Structure 1
Amino acid sequence: MDNKDRIKIVREPKWINYSAAVQIIKELNDLKFYPKSSRMPNVLLVGDSNNGKTALIEKFISLNPAMFSKENNEMICPVIGVQAPPEPDERRFYNSILEQLLAPYKISEKLDARQIRVKNLLQRLEVKVLIIDEIHHVLAGAPTKQRKFLNVLKFLSNELKISLVCAGTKDAFNAIQTDPQLSNRFVPRVLKRWKFDNEYKRLLLSFESKLPLKEESHLIEDGYAQKILALSEGLIGEISKIIELSTIWALENNLEKITPDILNEIRYVPPSDRKKMIYKL
C-alpha cells in the first residue's frame, strides 16, 4: 500500500468507542424496547459543536438498519434520523422524513394530508425512535412557529407512542424548554469537553491504533497529549482533525510516526482563534 492509499484511509470517517458514547448508545437502544405508553421517554443530547453528537447519532442509526420482516413481508425501520430544518417549518420537517424514507411527495400536497401520510408511514415501518439532529434550529423562527413545530413533535410522539431523541448545541436545551409539556419528557445527556485524564488518554490510544503508520507515535505521553488537548480545546472532532493532519504530514514527508515537531508543522488553528484571524484582516 503506497502513501496515497494510506492518506485516503486516514481521511475516512472513523468511529472511536469511548465510555460516554457507549453508555448513551445503550440508553438509546433501550428506547426501542420501551413498552408503548402515553408518556414515552425521550432523550436530549447536548454538546458543543464538533464534539461528537452527530457521529454518535450516525453510529446508533447504523447499528439499527432497516430490515425485511419475514413474518409480514414488510420493511421494518426501528430507527430513523433527520435534521431539523433551518427554521421551524412543519412542511419541510415532514419532507425530510419522507426523503429519508425514500417516499415520494408532491409539492402541492396539503399539510394535513402530508402529516397523515407521514404518521401512517412511520406506523407501518414500526418506527420506535425518531431522531432530530440540530434541534436548536427551532430558535431561528418566531415564537409562534416554534410552538407549532414543537407541537408536531408532540403529535408524532403521542400518536405513534414512539421515543424522540433530539440533539444540538446548548441552545437545544432552550429550544425544548419553550414547551413545558415537552421539556419534562426529555432526559438531558451532555457530551462534555475532554479533559486531561485517563479517559482522554484511552481515546488517544484508540485513535493511534487506527493510524496506518508503521511506528508507534506514543500520543499518550504527557507532552503530546497535553498539546493536542490544548489545541483542540477539548473537542473530539478537533482532536481527530489534529491527528489526521499530523498523520498526513508524516506520510507526505516519509515518516512512519507522529513526532512532536509535526504538531507545529501542520499549521492547525484552534477553534477560538479562527474568528480572530478574520477580524485581524
Structure 2
Amino acid sequence: MSEPFSHVAPEVREVMDRSPAERIAVAQADQWVDYPAATAALKRLEDALKHTRASRMENCLLVGDSNNGKSSILRTFVQRNPSRGWMTDEAGTPQLRAIPVLLMDMPRQRQDELFWKAMLQGLACAAPRRNEDLEPFACSLLEQFEVRVLVIDEVHDLLLEGTPRQHRSRLKLLKSLSNRLRLPIVVAGTHEAEAALAIAEEVDNRFEPFVLPRWNLDRNFRGFVAAYERLLPLKQPSGLAERETLIPLYNVCDGTIGRMVRVLKRAAVAAIESGAEKIDAELIGKVATLPYGKERGRAAG
C-alpha cells in the first residue's frame, strides 16, 4: 500500500492533517526549488565569495527581466552565507562578528549619501550625523564586519532619475569601492542595468554579465513545475507537469518564474478553499486573470 500523500514532499506530508488555514499559509510561503539557471548563478556568486583578494576584483552583473528570479537567487545566496553581525557573549558584552555577504538595494534617488545610508541600513548600523562622514564610516564598517561580497539589487533604479553624467558618477563610485576594499561587487537588475553599465566602458568591463533567460516550454520548465507541485499541500495530485496543465501554465506565466509561482500559489489557495484539493487547467486560467491580492475570495467562489 502506498504511503498517504506520497505526491507531496516528506516535509509537506507533516502538515496535511492541519486546518485549511494552516495549509494555505504553507502554500503561500516562499519556497526554493533549484533549476539549472539558478544553480549556475549561485555557483558564480559562491566563486566571487571564495575569490582571493586582489587589486582588481571580478565583479558580476546578474541580469534578467523583471519577475524572473533575480532577487530570490540573491536572498538564497545570503541565506546560505548567513550574517552573524552583533552578538552578545555570556557576559552580555556586544561582540562584532563577520558578515560574509551584504545585501542592499540601490536607492532610486541619485544622491551619494543615500547610497551610503542604504549600505548602513543593510549593516543594521546608524548613520553618523554629518553626511561627509558617511563614506569613510561605511567603508570602515565593511572592513570591520569582514564583508567578502557586496550585493546590490535593483541596480536598474539608478536610471530612474538624473542625467547620464550622474549615472556615470554612481557607477564609478562602485568601481572605486571595489578597488579600495578589494571587494567583489555583484549587482542585479533588468536589461536597463546593462545599458547603465555600458555608459562608462571602464566600469562596464569590470562587471561580467550573467543572464537569466526567460523560460521555454521544455524539460527544465516541466521539471521545475513538477518539483514545485510537491511543495503544495494539496490532498490530491494535480499532475501539473502533464501536457493538459503544463501548457496553460506556461501560457499565462509570460516566461518568468515569478509569474509562474504566483499563479501556482493562487491556484493552490483556491483549491484548498473550494475543497477541490487539486489544480487543473480551468483553475489556472481563472486565477491568472485576477488582480494581485484579490484572488482568494473570487477564485474559490
Same fold by TM (over 0.5)?
A: yes
Q: For the residues of structure 2 that align with 1:230 and 1:46, how far apart are their CA atoms?
A: 23
Structure 1: runs of 5 or more not aligned: 272-281
Q: For the residues of structure 1 that align with 2:249 and 2:239, how far apart are their CA atoms?
A: 12
**Cα contact 1:231–1:270 (8 A) shared by 2:** no
How far apart are 1:245 and its partner, in Å? 1.1
- Partner SS, residue 156 of structure 1: helix
What's 1:152 paired with? 173
What's 1:131 paired with? 151
Question: Identity over the aligned pairs, expressed in percent?
Answer: 32
User: Following superposition of structure 1 onto structure 2, how do residues 16-55 of structure 1 map, counting pairs within 5 Å?
Assistant: 16-55=33-72
Letter paired with 1:121: L
Q: For the residues of structure 1 that align with 2:221 and 2:23, how far apart are their CA atoms?
A: 25
What's 1:164 paired with? 185
User: Following superposition of structure 1 onto structure 2, how do residues 192-203 of structure 1 map, counting pairs within 5 Å?
Assistant: 192-203=213-224
Give TM-score scaled by structure 1 length: 0.90
Q: Structure 1: which 4+ aligned runs deviate by more than 6 Å?
A: none
**Cα contact 2:249–2:281 (8 A) shared by 1:** no
Letter paired with 2:158: V
**Cα contact 1:232–1:270 (8 A) shared by 2:** no
- The equivalent position to 1:15 in structure 2, one of 24, 28, 32, is 32
Q: Cα–Cα, structure 1 residues 197 and 270, in superposed 2: closer, same or farther, change >3 Å?
A: farther
- The equivalent position to 2:205 in structure 1, one of 165, 173, 184, is 184
What's 2:140 paired with? 120
Q: For the residues of structure 2 that align with 1:66 and 1:260, how far apart are their CA atoms?
A: 42
Give TM-score scaled by structure 2 length: 0.84
How far apart are 1:269 and its partner, in Å? 5.9
Q: For the residues of structure 1 that align with 2:83 and 2:256, how far apart are their CA atoms?
A: 32
Q: CA deviation digits over 1:185-225, x for unaligned, max 9?
A: 11111111111111100000111010001221100111211
Aligned-CA RMSD value? 1.9
- Partner SS, residue 193 of structure 1: coil
How far apart are 1:267 and its partner, in Å? 5.0
Instruction: Please say if 1:75 is aligned against 2:74.
Output: no
Q: CA deviation digits over 1:225-260, x for unaligned, max 9?
A: 111111111110110011111111111111121123
Q: Cα–Cα, structure 1 residues 120 and 7, in superposed 2: closer, same or farther, change >3 Å?
A: same
User: Following superposition of structure 1 onto structure 2, how do residues 218-229 of structure 1 map, counting pairs within 5 Å?
Assistant: 218-229=239-250
